[in-house]
Amino acid sequence: MFPSVDMIRSIRKASVLIAVIAASAAFFAPSVESTDATMYWDCCKPSGSWPGKAPVYNTVATCYKDGKTVVTGAHLNDGGSSGCGGGNEFQCSCQQPWTDAVNPTLGYAFTAKTSSNEADDECACFVQNFAQTSNSKPGKVSTLFYQVINDGGDVTSDGLDILVPGMGVGYMTQGCPAQWGNTSGWGKQYGGLDQNRQGCFNLPKDLQRGCLWRMDEWGNSVTFSGTAQRVRCSKAHIDRTGCQRKDEPANSYQGKWDTSHNGPAPNGYVPNSSVCGIPKSYSRRALRPDRRSDPETRDA
């Protein structure tokens, strides 16, 4: 039996604390403080992929089981379309983190964020600095430029979950086996591979890059330094999700970054289909009025 809408709303998505190894026998994801980031990858259709969640031109793109072919067509938002509920829509493999080509301390990612009103944050972009601690890796990613594509209910207000393959599937255990088959080598349900770099090679080839990013390029600090600042999303984010808000701020990230490839996205930006395979037919949905599948909050 699949989880009810109310159950799904209460858990939203899986969460795993990077620096703390949680008990894998726990039924619900452990609650974590909003001063620390978390990581997860559950393969589910993100909350931002459902229509009516926020003022956007398009919802977040999802992919078929191969993680590459973007889902389009009349049944895109059917009630049972999520791969975590027996459907055929999953997280696209291109929606994993990477490091800026110019600045090795700047990382890009997609996240889930806990908020009192999902409409305020869905598909918005933020920049968050991380504190330097005894566990930090100098010269590695310590600033994260991220786009929110999912909503979380298992961390405290303004908590942040970074989508990173191999860092635990959390509560939603159905998605990754449905998409990729045997996931026994993916580590613990909560905690994933932790810092087992060799374990990244147990993942499908298309997911190994993001897992290795956590091991090799992530600065290892999970504690926020200051408050996240909302900025205009980069072209690179929208190339991978297809989602852009209609109320984007004028200000862009002001640090050192690869603007020649990523750059701030103009209003109504059409994704580069060569990056994540998002077809122009998907982008043209921006010309249609916003539609809601039903009045319920529906999460993958």
Identify the structural domains of the chain with CATH numbers, from first to last: 5-22+30-282 (2.40.40.10)
Please report the pLDDT score of residue 282 as a whole number: 77
Q: Give the mean pLDDT of 117-146.
A: 94
Report in angstroms the alpha-carbon separations of 110 from 46, 114, 284.
11, 14, 23
pLDDT higher than threshold 50 for residue 14: no
Catalytic residue list contains 36 = no
Helix, strand or coil, per DSSP, at residue 16: coil
Q: Does the pLDDT at position 221 exceed 60?
A: yes
Q: Kindly state the helix (H) or strand (E) to which residue 98 belongs, with its residue range.
A: strand 98-99
Centre a 10 Å sphere on the Cβ of residue 228 and count the other Cβ atoms it contains.
17
CA atoms within 13 Å, Cβ hemisphere of 293: 19
Q: 266 — phi, psi (to 5°)?
A: -70, 165
- Of the pLDDT bands very low, low, confident and very high (cuts 50, 70, 90), residue 177 is very high
Coil, helix or strand at residue 5: helix
Q: What is the DSSP letter of 168?
A: -
Q: Which residues pair with 192 in a beta bridge?
A: 188
For 41-86, what is each residue's pLDDT tens digit?
999 999 999 999 999 999 999 999 999 999 998 778 777 889 999 9
Question: Does 154 qualify as catalytic in the annotation?
Answer: no
Q: Which of 13-27, 63-77, 142-156 has the highest mean pLDDT?
A: 63-77
Give the residue from 260, 241, 228, 195 showing the smallest Cα distance to 61.
241
Predicted structure pTM score: 0.85
Give the pLDDT score at 118: 86
Q: Outline where DSSP puts E strands in 86-201.
A: 98-99, 106-113, 125-130, 143-151, 160-163
Q: Which residue's structure tokens are 């395979």?
A: 277
Average pLDDT estimate for 248-268: 96
Contacts of 66 (CB under 8 A, 6+ apart): none
Element (H, E) at 177: helix 175-180
CB atoms within 10 A of CB 227: 9
Pairing type for strands 160-163 and 106-113 reads antiparallel
Amino acid at 259: T
Catalytic pick among 36, 121, 151, 161: 161
Backbone angles phi, psi at 178, to 5 degrees: -65, -35
- Which two tokens mark 210? 């993001």
3-state helix, strand, coil in the chain (%, to 5): 20, 20, 60
The pLDDT, as a whole number, for residue 4 is: 32
pLDDT on residue 283: 65
Pairwise CA distance, residues 41 & 90, whole Å: 11
Note the pLDDT of residue 34: 65
With H, G, I as helix, E, B as strand and everything else as coil, classify residue 113: strand
At 153 the pLDDT is: 56
| CA–CA separation, 14 and 164 (whole Å) | 12
| Active-site option among 36, 42, 121, 151 | 42
